[in-house]
């Protein structure tokens, strides 16, 4: 009984419960057909939300007002940069991935410089930056007809132990990120700043440096996601990252990260991402149109946050 109570007290557990319930409902709606394929597709599609969600999680953990709204534009530009550098050649895959990471990291650094130099809220600075980035992307990437290298495209189809290889890689990377968050000086510093920025500064934590590195981490993961999406969908696109703005924020909050900062959960991002993907699969299975899918998804997100995220979302008191 005590174990069950402790388990249900974990903020991130509700995201997995929600994902399991929606998955079960979808199986019932389809009469049990295609259950394995549905699970496979859900994990494959959820990975992209997880990558950007983890980056957004670190930024939101910094405290109230911290958010990166430039992620969709970042993803679009990085996808074009990756494809341009790779040029369809397998030998250029590592360089293309590095270019996408560098592009995203630079965007993250610029975001923080705008916040620090102009002293404007992150929501305004990152939104403003997104318009500039999108303009660059339109000039640089629109009409770009470069397909990913064969080996890079094939990577998304490789399987190990019944799961896509890139999903397993994402799982291992998430474990490393969880260690970074909960067992490293950087992770402790991000959490401390989110709990009380002034107290963290008085304790000797280099607040400005940690905040800058956090925005760079978020930007870098956005850039990496752009490259992965271009490989998965066999090409870059200006609009390839559009759906990940609200999704990246939703999975963070549903997954148990405190909106007020100071508390984060990598596992919760996984559960929330699977929840949203299963929800979309269920609505598609039931034949819902685009408008109905958006409305239902929005209502469910609000309901989940209200029911399961209330205490976790408030964050520590200042």
Residue 59 has pLDDT above 90, yes or no: yes
Between residues 299 and 48, the one the model is more confident about: 48
pLDDT for res 314: 45
Q: Over range 51-66, report the average pLDDT.
A: 94
Fold classified for 36-312: ABC transporter involved in vitamin B12 uptake, BtuC (1.10.3470)
Structure token pair of residue 100? 């996408």
pLDDT for res 29: 77
**Predicted TM-score (pTM) of this structure:** 0.90
43 half-sphere exposure, CB direction, 13 A CA radius: 18
pLDDT for res 306: 67
Sequence-ordered list of residues with C-beta below 8 angstroms from that of 241, at least 6 positions apart, any chain: 52, 71, 72, 73, 74, 75, 76, 79, 222, 225, 226, 229
Between residues 314 and 185, the one the model is more confident about: 185
Q: Over range 188-213, report the average pLDDT.
A: 94
The residue behind tokens 């980035």 is 133
Q: Phi then psi for 89, rounded to 5 degrees?
A: -105, 130
The residue behind tokens 């890079």 is 152
pLDDT for res 97: 96
* Distance, CA of 294 to CA of 283 (rounded, Å): 10
pLDDT for res 1: 55
Q: Mean pLDDT of all residues in the chain?
A: 87
Structure token pair of residue 178? 């969880």
Which of 49-53, 76-80, 190-194, 287-291 is predicted least confidently? Answer: 287-291
Assess contact for 238 and 72: CB atoms under 8 A. Answer: no
Assess contact for 61 and 260: CB atoms under 8 A. Answer: no
Which of 95-104, 194-203, 258-267 is predicted least confidently? Answer: 258-267
pLDDT tens, position by position, 122-175: 999 999 999 999 999 888 767 677 889 999 988 878 888 777 888 899 999 999
Structure token pair of residue 213? 């590195």
Between residues 138 and 112, the one the model is more confident about: 112
pLDDT for res 305: 62
pLDDT for res 318: 43
Which of 31-40, 216-225, 227-236, 276-285 is predicted least confidently? Answer: 31-40
Between residues 20 and 287, the one the model is more confident about: 20
pLDDT-derived band at 33 (thresholds 50, 70, 90) equals low
Q: Where are the domains positioned within the chain?
A: 36-312
Residue 82 has pLDDT above 90, yes or no: yes
pLDDT tens, position by position, 234-270: 888 888 998 898 889 889 988 888 888 888 999 999 9
Residue 77 has pLDDT above 70, yes or no: yes
């Amino acid at each position: 009984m005590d174990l069950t109570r402790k388990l249900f007290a974990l903020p991130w557990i509700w995201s997995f419960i929600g994902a399991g319930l929606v998955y079960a409902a979808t199986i019932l709606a389809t009469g049990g057909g295609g259950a394995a394929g549905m699970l496979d597709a859900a994990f494959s599609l959820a990975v992209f939300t997880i990558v950007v969600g983890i980056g957004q999680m670190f930024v939101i953990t910094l405290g109230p007002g911290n958010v990166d709204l430039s992620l969709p534009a970042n993803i679009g530009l990085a996808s074009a940069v990756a494809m341009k550098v790779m040029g369809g050649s397998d030998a250029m895959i590592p360089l293309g991935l590095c270019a996408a990471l560098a592009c995203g990291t630079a965007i993250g650094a610029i975001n923080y410089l705008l916040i620090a130099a102009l002293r404007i809220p992150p929501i305004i600075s990152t939104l403003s930056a997104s318009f500039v980035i999108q303009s660059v992307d339109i000039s640089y990437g629109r009409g770009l007809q470069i397909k990913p290298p064969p080996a890079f495209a094939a990577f998304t189809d490789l399987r190990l132990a019944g799961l896509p290889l890139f999903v397993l890689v994402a799982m291992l990377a998430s474990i490393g990120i969880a260690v970074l968050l909960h067992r490293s000086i950087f992770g402790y510093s991000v959490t401390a700043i989110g709990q009380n920025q002034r107290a963290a500064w008085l304790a000797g934590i280099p607040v400005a440096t940690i905040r800058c590195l956090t925005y760079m981490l978020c930007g870098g993961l956005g850039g990496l996601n752009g490259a992965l999406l271009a490989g998965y969908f066999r090409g870059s696109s200006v609009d390839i990252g559009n759906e990940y703005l609200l999704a990246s924020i939703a999975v963070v909050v549903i997954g148990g990260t405190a909106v007020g900062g100071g508390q984060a959960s990598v596992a919760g991002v996984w559960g929330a991402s699977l929840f949203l993907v299963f929800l979309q699969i269920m609505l598609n299975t039931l034949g819902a149109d685009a408008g109905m899918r958006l409305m239902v998804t929005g209502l469910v997100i609000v309901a989940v946050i209200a029911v399961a995220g209330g205490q976790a979302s408030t964050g520590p008191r200042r």
